[in-house]
Chain A
Amino acid sequence: MSSSADLNTGVARKSRRSDRRRPRISGLGLALLAPALFLLTLFFFAPVVLTGIFAFTDLSTSTGIGRGQYVVTPNLLRQLGDQGLTEDDATAIASVSITIDEAGIARATEGGVDPDFLSEIADRFAGESFDDPRAFSRELRGLPNAPRRPRELTQTAEYFETSVLNTRFDNPEALTAQLADVAPDVSSDTIAWIVDRSYTGARFTTANFERLATQKETLRLIGNTALYVAATLGLFNVGLGLFLAIVLFYTPKPVTSFYSTLWLLPRITPLVLYAIMWKWFTWEDGFLPIVAEQFGLPSFNYMKGSVVTAWMTMISLNGFIGASFGLILFSGALRAIPMQQLWASEVDGANRWQQVRRIILPQMRWPILFVTSYQTLSLLSSYEQIWLTTNGGPGRTTTVWALEAFTTALSNYTGNLQYGLGAAMALVLVVVGLVLSIIYLRLFKFGELVSRPKIEL
Chain B
Amino acid sequence: MRLQLQNFTKCFDGTPVIEGLDLTVEDGEMLALLGPSGCGKSTTLFSICGIYRADGGRIMFGDRDVSDLPSQKRNVGVVFQNYALYPHLTVEENIAFPLTVQKPRPSKSEIAREVRAIAELIHIENLLERRPAQLSGGQQQRVALARALVRKPDVLLLDEPLANLDAKLRLEMRSEIRRIQLETGITAILVTHDQVEAMSMCDRVAIMDKGEILQIASPTEMYRNPVNKFVAGFLGNPPITFLEGHTATEGRFAMDQGLFLPLPSRLRDLPAGQRISLGLRPEHFGSTGTAQASGRIVFVEPQGREMLFDVEAAPGVVLRSVQPVRDDVGVGDEVTWGVDVDRMLAFDMDGQTL
A residues in contact (CB < 8 Å) with B: 13, 16-18, 20-21, 23-24, 454-457
Contact = CB atoms under 8 A, between A and B. Distances in A.
Nearest to B52: A456
B56 A23 contact: no
Given A17-B16, A457-B70, 4 more contacts: A13-B9, A16-B56, A455-B51, A456-B51
Nearest to A457: B70
Nearest to A24: B53
A118 B70 CA distance: 89
A405 B70 CA distance: 54
B162 to A, nearest CB: 23
A17 B71 contact: no
Contacts of A18: 14
Closest 3 CB pairs of A and B: A456-B53, A457-B70, A17-B55
Contact of A21 (B14, B50, B69): B14
A17 B16 CA distance: 9
B44 to A, nearest CB: 14
Contacts of A17: 9, 11, 16, 55-56
B202 interface: no
A454 B14 CA distance: 16
* Dominant SS among interface residues on chain B: loop
Interface in B18-53: 50-53
Contacts of B297: none
B199 interface: no
Nearest to B53: A456
Contacts of A454: 51
Given A457-B70, A457-B71, A23 B53 contact: yes
B56 A457 contact: no
Given A17-B55, A21-B55, A457 B11 contact: no
A246 to B, nearest CB: 38
A14 to B, nearest CB: 9
A457 B53 contact: yes
B14 A457 contact: no
Contacts of B54: 20
Contacts of A455: 51, 71
B9 A457 contact: no
A452 B251 CA distance: 59
A22 to B, nearest CB: 9
Contacts of B70: 457
Interface string B59-80: 0000000000111000000000
B225 to A, nearest CB: 32
Nearest to A16: B56
Contacts of B69: 457
20 contacts: A13-B9, A16-B56, A17-B9, A17-B16, A18-B14, A20-B53, A20-B55, A20-B56, A21-B11, A21-B53, A21-B55, A23-B53, A24-B53, A455-B51, A455-B71, A456-B51, A456-B53, A457-B53, A457-B70, A457-B71
A48 to B, nearest CB: 34
Contacts of A21: 11, 14, 53, 55
A211 B50 CA distance: 63
Nearest to A454: B51
A78 B89 CA distance: 82
A27 to B, nearest CB: 12
